[in-house]
Amino acid sequence: MTRGIVITGTDTGIGKTVFSAGLAGLLDGFYWKPVQSGLEEETDSEVVERLAGLPAGRVLPEVYRLREPLSPHRSAEIDGVAIEAAKLSLPALPGPLVIEGAGGLMVPLNRQTRFIDIFSQWRLPVILCARTTLGTINHALLSIEALRARSIPIVGIVFIGDEMADTQKTIAEFGNVRQLGRLPHLDPLTSATLRDAMIASFDLALIAGGE
Ligand SMILES: Nc1ncnc2c1ncn2[C@@H]1O[C@H](COP(=O)(O)OP(=O)(O)OP(=O)(O)O)[C@@H](O)[C@H]1O
Ligand SMILES: C[C@H](N)[C@H](N)CCCCCC(=O)O
Ligand SMILES: [Mg+2]
């Protein structure tokens, strides 16, 4: 297993946190959301604590907790906080770490740095999460191109939602990426249904094997 894996996505609100919770649970690992914007609703770390089924202490504290549910750069400005990339250094841990960004790759942390710049420094393998609904081909292929332009290793793509066989195949072919699996919409979404769906939908060896 690699020491860490970055979960990014084509957009915000597509299911990165739910997939990250499932993956951290499956790996019996740790979860880290370094920058959380939006504190009024359940935070991503709290969602993972609820869904991953991990023992206490496996969800690391965020480095930045920003009040407004906006792009982190703006949320930080409103809170009077300057996000410093140097503070987002990788923690050393005794097990695999699942790291979630916020939104997609080009989301800014401040007026100079975007998530993709940090991912590029970390040099960790990345899993790209994508919706299956219309519009996703463009978002997914642009995201893959941006990762490749920076030589960021791509483990593969995870789809979230109802099966769209041609869409998934088209992205995998044009993007030259592996399809790691598809997490269906779960109702109810609980720790148990998520764990069962993760086991049924993903081959851990494929994910843990890296690029
Ligand atoms: N597989 C799923 N089954 C049921 N509901 C889901 C699933 N995936 C995501 N959701 C729901 O969709 C919403 C958005 O998901 P999630 O918070 O994981 O998105 P995200 O990509 O992490 O967003 P952000 O960019 O804010 O971190 C949540 O309400 C979540 O419970
Ligand atoms: C508030 C939201 N849930 C995320 N935490 C942040 C998403 C930032 C998206 C910015 C953008 O691409 O316009
Ligand atoms: Mg999230």
Closest by Cα among 34, 2, 37 to 127: 2
| Res 202: pLDDT | 96
Give helix 191-201 / helix 16-27 axis angle, nearest 10°: 80
Is the CB of 198 within 6 Å of ligand 1? no
The stretches in the chain having pLDDT less than 50 are 1-2
Going from the Cα of 41 to the center of ligand 2, the distance in angstroms, rounded, reads 14
Ligand with smallest separation from the Cα of 18:
1
Q: Is 210 annotated as a binding residue?
A: no
| Res 1: pLDDT | 42
Cis check for the bond before 188: say yes or no (omega within 30 of 0).
yes
Q: What is the ipTM of this complex?
A: 0.99
Instruction: Work out whether the CA dihedral 187, 189, 194, 198 comes out positive or negative.
Output: positive
Going from the Cα of 143 to the center of ligand 1, the distance in angstroms, rounded, reads 19
| Res 208: pLDDT | 80
Q: Give how far Cα 10 sits from Cα of 90, 147, 157, Å.
A: 23, 12, 10
Q: pTM to 2 decimals?
A: 0.97
Rg of the chain on CA atoms, in Å = 16
Give the chain's domains with CATH numbers: 4-208 (3.40.50.300)
Q: Is position 33 annotated as part of the catalytic site?
A: yes
Q: What is the pLDDT of residues 12-21, one digit of tens each?
A: 999 999 999 9
| Res 211: pLDDT | 56
